[in-house]
Amino acid sequence: MTTQPFSMQGKTGIVTGLANADSIAYGCARALHQAGAEMIVTYGHPKAESHVRPLVGEMGDPELMLCDVLDQSQVDALFQRADERWGKLDFLIHSMAFAPRDDLHGRVVDCSWDGFAQAMNISCHSFIRLARQAEPLMKEGGTLITLSYYGAEKVVDNYNLMGPVKAALESSVRYMAAELGPRGIRVHAISPGPIRTRAASGIQDFETLARDAETRSPLRRLATVNDVGQCAVFLASGAGQSLTGSTLYVDAGHNIRA
């Protein structure tokens, strides 16, 4: 019987960065479950557990694990558990970003070395580290997906330090796609427009960005975490088997506006 191109039946993976019901990670995990995937879902801080436990039903009761990407022992435990449970991985979603508030709210030229390094470590290099540990488990190929934003390409007011960091992330996607392609591993960035997540609330005057997107995007609305999740399903499923190294905009068309 021919497998439906958007089916994730029999596919297994990891979704990182769940914080609450507004998380992009939640939208991805829910959509992947609805398409038939099994997964481990991670949250980054013990305080988040009370917010994420009530969500497991909508995600198909996935295994939840604490995984702070700055704690290598937790990262090792995550991939060890995936190996024990399935012996393989088909997809990994990297949905996390961070910059210290003072550095994020200031000018790029004034950012501290420590703030820049921390933002780059959590928001960019963690994707590289996760990919390195996922690679041996993607024995028959797989898909690695991270989350970016238009501020990687153009200057967006108040995005500040995260612009260079996301630019590095998008460049990493292209290089990783070239390196891992011969093993059948595809690598992508999804670039949503403004979405009202907890992480977005750290951006100064975020509501101004959101209102601009709602009023000026061709579809006159914001993308949702479910929209991002559906894009992740497309990329990780057989429907996306010939795509790699891309940054896909899921932003109601806002990126085409001057």
Among 14, 21, 55, smallest CA distance to 38 is for 14
Active site (annotated) includes residue 175: no
Strand order in 38-43's β-sheet? 63-66, 38-43, 12-15, 91-94, 142-147, 185-192, 246-250
Q: Which amino acid is at 40?
A: I
DSSP bridge pairs for 190: 147, 248
Report how far residue 195's alpha carbon sits from residue 91's, in angstroms, rounded to the nearest whole number. 23
Report how far residue 52's alpha carbon sits from residue 48's, in angstroms, rounded to the nearest whole number. 6
240 contacts 234 by C-beta, under 8 angstroms: yes
Active site (annotated) includes residue 159: yes
Q: Which of 26, 149, 150, 249 is catalytic?
A: 149
Tokens in use for 144? 């690695």
Residue 181 exposed, middle or buried by CB count within 10 Å (0-12, 13-18, 19+) = middle
Q: Where are the beta strands (DSSP E) in 67-154?
A: 91-94, 142-147
Please give the helix or strand (H or E) that residue 138 lies within, else none: none
Is the sign of the CA dihedral 17, 20, 23, 26 positive or negative? positive
Give residue 153's Cα distance to chain centre. Answer: 17
Among 134, 136, 155, 151, smallest CA distance to 193 is for 151
Q: Which of 26, 150, 159, 249 is catalytic?
A: 159
Residues known to be catalytic: 149, 159
